[in-house]
Amino acid sequence: MIIKKQEELRETANLIAAKGKGLLAVDESTPTIGKRLAGINIENTEENRRAYRGMIFTAKGLGDFISGAILFEETLYQNHEDGESMVAKIDKLGIIPGIKVDKGLRPLAGGHEVETFCQGLEGLAERTAEYYERGARFAKWRAVLQITADGCPTDLAIKENAWGLARYARICQESGLVPIVEPEILMDGDHTIERTAEAQERILTEVYKACAENGVFLEGSLLKPSMTVSGADNANQASSEEVAKMTVRTMERSVPAAVPGIMFLSGGLTEEDASVYLNTMNSIERKSSRSLAFSYGRALQQSCLQAWQGHDIEAGQKALLARAQANSEACTGDYAAGSQPSSQDSLFEAGYKY
Ligand code: 13P
């Protein structure tokens, strides 16, 4: 069967991957956003989540740097305090609304004890059709893999997560949603950057094999990988130059050229590191001009949350725009390190759940 909305998918994917723009991930599940709000002593109520996200979606000029916003289902169907839908607010900024469609991670029976698979395929075709009706034009599915000294990622975990991503991608495309394919490798562990590169090549190769088997239309899809970095506990952390070189090499080796953009997650990097690493990637020589951009959650929101403190809309928006601009500049290799304010907070959390 042929995917009907191919041209629309290609167009949406190209708009998202437009030079100098990236994605804002604000699709934290209710427990996860609760942890963020707790960090500034704000209660995790629907009203407070609306206030926080409403502040973000009324930041004038955000669309100059951000092409799409990934929403949690609650936000897709929520109205702003002023009565207008959040989707309308996002549209007004010239940003494309997207939706997280996975239903979270579960232990992988038969795998290593830290390994998981991502659930949410059941009923996905019906849900994606409804999300499209509501205005979403792309989707996200976060599969997670881990590197350990005793054999992870196992072949089983790679196979299962790659297959889930490919099934999800194909189903989304049938509904006209561009799938963001996210096989995240957690930074947990003390492994070297070379070990990360080797595991990531295995994983991405399997993901694109599964995509081929499922007839995924690659031109209408995007990849959201973690950067190729050292394990968080490795005493010998790779420099930004090494990270950029190894990440570019890994992507060149394992991602088909038909995929129009690679939108990196921040994965626990600090706000400034996430921008500097991306900027370095876009400053070095590489084999293609394909867009290397961002799809950051923590690295776009930390200083915004801190500045907002539950009430200061102007300060929150200013901080958000500063990091959005920094990352936009990083997409073209034009970011001068430190030229925008950032939070120094460590954003790494072991075994991160979204
Ligand atoms: P981080 O940038 O905080 O890793 O989140 C991005 C994301 O959407 C993970 O799925």
Is the domain spanning 6-330 CATH 3.40.50.2300? The answer is: no
Q: Which atom of ligand 1 is nearest to the CA of 265?
A: 2
Q: So what's the pLDDT on residue 53?
A: 98
Tell how far the Cα of 264 is from the centroid of ligand 1, in angstroms.
Answer: 9
Q: What share of the chain is helix, strand, coil (3-state, %, to 5)?
A: 45, 15, 40
Provide the pairing of β-strand 66-71 with 22-26.
Answer: parallel
**What is the per-residue pLDDT for 113?**
97
Q: Which residues contact 51 (CB under 8 A, 6 or more apart)?
A: 81, 310
Query: Which of these, 77, 95, 121, lies nearest to 214 by C-alpha position?
Result: 121
pLDDT above 90 (res 17)? yes
Say which residues have a Cβ less than 8 Å from residue 216's Cβ, sequence separation at least 6: 166, 169, 170, 173, 179
């795998």: which residue's tokens?
A: 111
> CB within 8 A of 200, min separation 6: which ones?
185, 225, 226, 228, 250, 254
Q: Whose CA is nearest to atom 8 of ligand 1?
A: 25
Domain limits, the chain: 6-330
The rounded mean pLDDT for the chain is: 97
Q: How far is the CA of 297 from the centre of ligand 1 (A)?
A: 4
146 residue type, one letter? Q
Nearest alpha-carbon partner for 200 in 241, 124, 121, 146: 146
Q: Probe ligand 1: pick from 26, 262, 320, 354, max atoms within 8 Å of CB?
A: 354
Model-wide pTM > 0.95: yes
Read off the pLDDT of residues 309-331 as tens digits, 9 standing for 90 and up: 999 999 999 999 999 999 999 99
225 lines ligand 1 (CB under 6 A): no
How confident is residue 115, by pLDDT bands cut at 50, 70 and 90?
very high
Length of the chain (residues) = 354
Q: Which positions are catalytic?
A: 182, 224
- 70: enclosing H helix or E strand: strand 66-71
- The pLDDT, as a whole number, for residue 2 is 86
For residue 69 and ligand 1, the question of a CB distance below 6 A is answered with no
Q: Which atom of ligand 1 is nearest to the CA of 298?
A: 3
Instruction: For residue 20, give Cα distances in angstroms to 48, 63, 99, 329, 333.
Output: 31, 11, 22, 6, 9
Question: How far does the centroid of ligand 1 lie from the alpha carbon of residue 17, in Å?
Answer: 17
Can you tell me which atom of ligand 1 is nearest the CA of 25?
8
| Whether residue 294 has its Cβ less than 6 Å from ligand 1 | no
Q: Are 40 and 308 contacting, i.e. CB atoms less than 8 angstroms apart?
A: yes
Q: What is the pLDDT of residues 192-241, one digit of tens each?
A: 999 999 999 999 999 999 999 999 999 999 999 999 999 999 999 999 99
Closest ligand 1 atom to Cα of 27: 8
Ligand 1 pocket residue status of 297, Cβ below 6 Å: yes
Protein residue with its CA nearest to atom 10 in ligand 1? 142
pLDDT, residue 254, reads 98
The pLDDT value recorded for residue 180 is 98
C-alpha 4 – ligand 1 centre gap (Å): 30
pLDDT for 49 equals 98
Q: Which of 103, 185, 298 best tests ligand 1's pocket when mutated (most atoms within 8 Å of CB)?
A: 298
Q: What would the DSSP string read from start to end of 151-188?
A: SPSPHHHHHHHHHHHHHHHHHHHHTTPEEEEEEEEP--
| C-alpha to C-alpha distances, 13 to 9, 63, 219, 221, 303, nearest whole angstrom | 6, 16, 7, 6, 29
Ligand 1: which of 271, 295, 349 to mutate, judged by most atoms within 8 Å of the beta carbon? Answer: 295
Any atom of ligand 1 within 6 Å of the Cβ of 53: no
Nearest Cα residue to atom 4 of ligand 1: 267
Q: What is the pLDDT of residues 131-170, one digit of tens each?
A: 999 999 999 999 999 999 999 999 999 999 999 999 999 9
The amino acid occupying position 65 is F
> What distances in angstroms separate CA 278 from CA 23, 25, 248, one per listed residue?
13, 16, 10
